[in-house]
Each structure stands twice: as C-alpha cells, then as structure tokens.
Amino acid sequence: MTQKKLKINYEVWSERLTKIYGKGKEELEAVSKIDLRVEPGIHGFLGPNGAGKTTTYNMLVGAISITEGEAKIRELKAGSVAAKQLIGFLPQDPVFYEDMTGEGYLIYMGQLGGLQAKEARRKAQELLDYFDLFDAREREIGKYSGGMKQKIGIAAALIHEPKVLILDEPTANLDPLGRVDVIQKIKELSDKVSVFVSSHILSEIEQMCEDVTMINHGKIVVSDSIKKIKKSFVSNLYILDTDMNEKFLEILKNKDFISKARIEEIDGKIHIIPKDPAKLQKIIPEMLIENKATLLSFHQPELSLQDIFMEIMSKKEDDEK
Ligand SMILES: Nc1ncnc2c1ncn2[C@@H]1O[C@H](COP(=O)(O)OP(=O)(O)OP(=O)(O)O)[C@@H](O)[C@H]1O
Ligand SMILES: [Mg+2]
C-alpha cells in the first residue's frame, strides 16, 4: 500500500510566483518568486508602498498575467474561471459605476457572479442591511461617502458567496470609526469565508489576523503566525533597570553568557541579549544583593507588530547595502 501523504489544502497557495513588468531597460521585477501559504481564517499581507502587494493580488485574481511560477486558489489554478468563482475581490482603487444606486450595483455584480435576478436582489438586500447601507440603497454610489463606498465594495465582493475574500487595503481613507466598523465586519465574515487582507496599519492587522506575510521589494521577508513572529523576536531581549545601571553594564559585559549588553539612550535602561537566559536570570538577584542595589524593573518587552516590522525592514535594508 502506498503511504498517504499528509497535505494541507491552502486557501491561497503559490510557488515562485513572479511578476515582471515591462521589457528590456524598463523591466521591473515587482514580485519575485514568492511562496504563499494562506490557511483558513484571516491572513494579513504587509509591506511598504511598492512592495508588490497589489501586483500579487492582481495575479491571484487573474487581473494580470503571471510571469513565472504558479498560484492556486483552493487547488484551482489562479486566473481560471473556476478559481475566479471562488474569490471575492476588493481592489485597492475600486471603480464604481457612480450613477448606479447601491442596490442596483450589488444586483448587477451578483448577476455578473452568476446569480439569477431574484436571488441577486435578495442577496443584495441582505448585504445592504448587514453593512448598514439599507437606507442608502436607492442613492447613487457617486454620492456615497468614502466609508460607504468601501463597504459597498466589500458587499459587492461577497455577493456571489465566495470562499476566499481578497481585500486590498479595505480601511484606506477611512476615519477611525469607519475603520473599527470595517474591521469588525471583516472579523465577523471570517467565520464563513477566508480572508487575505492587506493594510499599512499594523495595529489593524494585529487586531484581525492570526497569520501574516510580510513582503518588501517583491520578496517575502517573513510569513508565520503573529504569535510565533512575536515570540521569536521577544525571546532574546531583556531589559534591566536598577539604581546603578552603569556598574551593572560593566559586570554583565564581561560574562560569557551575554551576547550583547548596552545602555539604551532613550530609556537609560540596560538592554541585554543573553546567550543563556537562565544564567542571566540567576545572576541578577545575586548582583543586586552583592552591590546593595535597588531593582527598578527586569522584564522582556512585548514588541508590537509595528516594532518587529520596522526591525525586519531596517535589517533587510542594511543587509542589502
Ligand atoms: N502596471 C504597472 N506597470 C509597471 N510597474 C508597475 C505596475 N503596477 C505596479 N508597478 C510597480 O510594481 C511595484 C509594486 O507595486 P504594487 O502596486 O504591487 O505595490 P503595493 O505593495 O501594492 O504598494 P502600495 O502599498 O503602495 O499599494 C512598484 O514598483 C510599482 O511601481
Ligand atoms: Mg497596493
């Protein structure tokens, strides 16, 4: 009997996915050999301006061609009719038919997605209600506010009941309340549909997602659960504050179980990266007693995704120099 291979069916999967724009001198590799692994739930897609997020999304939804590599949506080849059927897509700059009413637009999109007129109308009304747009259903989209447009865009992406929702910066241009509202809706939706969402606002991604992929210059810099990413970054740094930091720094610097120790200018505290954390934890109380020093604090800082993102990005820039 052949052994059955354990295989995860990813919502979005790619192998060496690459996009090159232009030719010759104009050639630009916007996305470079990326391997995406998006599991059910909400997966964040991060990266600075020009990193290649929108380009990646456009390849996944079949809006532009793939130069090299391959991509799949739930096992179906990205760009195929069957794969498109599985996807709901909110583009970064959605183009609306501004003189259509909200309801008319959703019905139209529903029919484009393969629904019968009656079913499209029913779904449209359900979504208008869900996104608090029911009272505005007969107004032209051109007269909607930014937040209303964003919500009608997400509603339109949902009308054919997709399995995978791809949202390119759904909270861009929204005020704080509008953001909270859209984030809440995305979280609720993730019970029924997998979400692959990009945003520049890392605190938002942190609120919404379990897993993230960060890209920079078209390449993946890290892809993992936020929990694991945070753990791998936090585990190494310890911050010690006493009433004699200078002296303690001198002592610690000479220990073989310390990799790095310095006094951080901003807070005046000792930032320590130990080779052996257990030894560090043991020596601190001994040092305090021996020197009759007062301990003000000793802890491992919890880094925000923003801190980690900045650190990863700056490290990469340094490496590339
Ligand atoms: N149609 C195009 N033709 C040529 N180059 C393009 C095209 N679209 C994007 N690019 C380039 O590809 C790179 C990636 O752009 P992309 O829009 O994918 O980035 P992004 O991560 O979505 O950025 P942002 O956060 O600003 O939306 C950029 O250098 C951009 O100038
Ligand atoms: Mg973009």
Q: What is the CATH number of domain 236-299?
A: 3.30.70.2070
CB neighbours of residue 295 within 10 Å: 13
Higher pLDDT residue, 149 or 1?
149
Q: How many CB atoms lie within 10 A of CB 225?
A: 15
Report whether residue 85 contacts ligand 1, using a CB cutoff of 6 Å.
Answer: no
Between 160-169, 192-201, 230-239, 263-272, the lowest mean confidence (pLDDT) is in 230-239
Q: Which residues pair with 63 in a beta bridge?
A: none
Domain 12-226 has CATH 3.90.76.10: no
Is 70 exceeded by the pLDDT of residue 223?
yes
For ligand 1, the distance from its centroid to the CA atom of residue 189, given in whole angstroms, is 28
Q: Which residue has the higher pLDDT, 234 or 249?
A: 249
Using the predicted structure, report yes or no on whether residue 4 has a pLDDT greater than 80: no
Residues 35-74, buried b or exposed e (16+ Cβ, 10 A)?
ebbbebbbbbbbbeeebbbbbbbbbbbbebebeebebbbb
Q: What pLDDT is recorded for position 1?
A: 47
Q: Is the pLDDT of residue 135 over 60?
A: yes
> Which ligand has the minimum distance to the alpha carbon of residue 46?
1
* 137 has a pLDDT exceeding 70: yes
Q: Which atom of ligand 1 is nearest to the CA of 22?
A: 4
pLDDT of residue 312: 76
- Please tell me if the CB atom of residue 19 comes closer than 6 angstroms to any atom of ligand 1: no
pLDDT digits (tens, 9 = 90+) for 45-59: 999 999 999 999 999
Give the mean pLDDT of 96-121.
94
Position 235 scores a pLDDT of 59
Which ligand has the nearest atom to the CA of 64? Answer: 1
Closest ligand to C-alpha of residue 67 is 1
Ranked by mean pLDDT, which of 4-18, 205-219, 234-248, 292-306 comes out on top? 205-219
Looking only at the bridges linking them, the beta strands covering 28-34 and 87-90 are unpaired
Q: Which amino acid is at 321?
A: K
Q: In the 3-class helix/strand/coil scheme, how is 73-138 assigned residue by residue?
A: ECCEECCCHHHHHHEEEECCCCCCCCCCEHHHHHHHHHHHCCCCHHHHHHHHHHHHHHCCCHHHCC
Q: Which atom of ligand 1 is nearest to the CA of 215?
A: 21
pLDDT beyond 50 at 278: yes
Does the C-beta of 295 come closer than 6 Å to ligand 1? no
- Nearest CA to 278 out of 238, 246, 233, 251 is that of 238
Q: What is the mean pLDDT of residues 281-300?
A: 94
Q: Give the pLDDT score at 59.
A: 98
- Has residue 36 got a pLDDT over 90? yes
Confirm or reject: Cβ of 51 under 6 Å from ligand 1: yes
What is d(CA 210, CA 41) in angstroms, rounded to the nearest whole number?
8
pLDDT at residue 170 tops 70: yes
Q: What is the mean pLDDT of residues 115-126?
A: 96
How many angstroms is it from 110 CA to the middle of ligand 1? Answer: 29
Is ligand 1 within 6 A of the CB of residue 59?
A: no
230 pLDDT tier (thresholds 50, 70, 90): confident
Name every residue whose Cβ is closer than 8 Å to that of residue 102 and which is 6 or more positions away in sequence: 128, 133, 136, 137, 138, 139, 141, 144, 148, 152
Residue 55 CA: nearest ligand 1 atom is: 18
Of 244, 307, 250, 255, the C-alpha closest to 281 is 255
The Cα-based distances of 222 to 31, 45, 48, 219, 301 in angstroms read 15, 10, 14, 9, 21
- Examine the pLDDT at 2 and tell me if it is beyond 50: no
* Rounded Cα distance, 225 and 34, in Å: 17
Residues ≥6 apart with Cβ < 8 Å to 234: 300, 301, 302, 303
User: pTM to 2 decimals?
Assistant: 0.82
- Which pLDDT belongs to residue 320? 58
Average pLDDT over residues 125-129: 96
Task: Please provide the distance, in angstroms rounded to a whole number, between the alpha carbons at the two ends of the chain.
Answer: 53
Ligand number, closest to the Cα atom of 56 = 1
Task: Summarize pLDDT for 293-302 with one digit per residue, the tens.
Answer: 999 999 988 7
pLDDT range class, residue 200, cuts 50, 70, 90? confident
Domain boundaries, the chain: 12-226, 236-299
Name the CA radius of gyration of the chain, rounded.
25
